Amino acid sequence: MTIKSFACAFLYLAGVALTACQEVKPDHPQAGFTGYPPSVYMQPFLGCSSDAPCTRSAEFRVDPVPNGCCLLIVTNGDGQGADETRSYEIFMNGKNVIPADHSRNAQAPVKLLRTNTLKVVLSGEPSSKVFVLIAYDPSQSK
């Protein structure tokens, strides 16, 4: 499964209408309003080569930082019940935002800085994965 199809499956399961998953011809201008929150960050985190828990980290920059901002959404596995981790835990800028969990989907409001560190602690098979999406949530900006 490609990253794009994985992201589309993830967002479909999260209940977000994603027009970006449709093929768009380059000669057609994109619409101004798409009906889904803009993505600030998207990344799959792959399981470890052993059964022991492992930590995966990523650093990303957001400029400018939206006020209030965002919703962190996690999909365990491929979004269709395969390749799920036994458990995962998510930290954003040193703060535990999703405690140890094994559900298929989880979400939490997060505040972003200019430079952010995302840490994911995974336990599962080498083919297991979680997909993390941080999307702009206008309701958080109030």
Structural domains of the chain, ranges and CATH numbers in brackets: 3-22+38-141 (2.60.120)
Give me the pLDDT at residue 140, please. 62
Give me the pLDDT at residue 36, please. 54
CA geometry: angle 26, 28, 30, nearest 5 deg: 95
Tokens of 62: 């957001």
Measured distance CA(123)–CA(78) in Å, rounded? 16
Q: Are 137 and 69 in contact (CB under 8 A)?
A: yes
Task: Tell me the pLDDT of the chain (142 aa) as tens digits.
Answer: 444 444 555 444 444 443 344 433 344 444 444 455 678 899 999 988 777 889 999 999 988 877 778 999 999 998 888 999 999 999 999 999 999 978 899 999 999 999 999 999 999 888 899 999 999 887 766 5
Give me the pLDDT at residue 48, please. 85
Helix ranges (H only) for the chain are: 3-13
Task: Scan for tokens 């059964």, then name that residue.
Answer: 51
Give me the pLDDT at residue 69, please. 81
DSSP letter for 9, please: H
Give the global pTM: 0.71
Give me the pLDDT at residue 21, please. 44
Measured distance CA(9)–CA(77) in Å, rounded? 11
Q: Are 140 and 40 in contact (CB under 8 A)?
A: no
**Residue 76: strand, helix, or coil:** strand
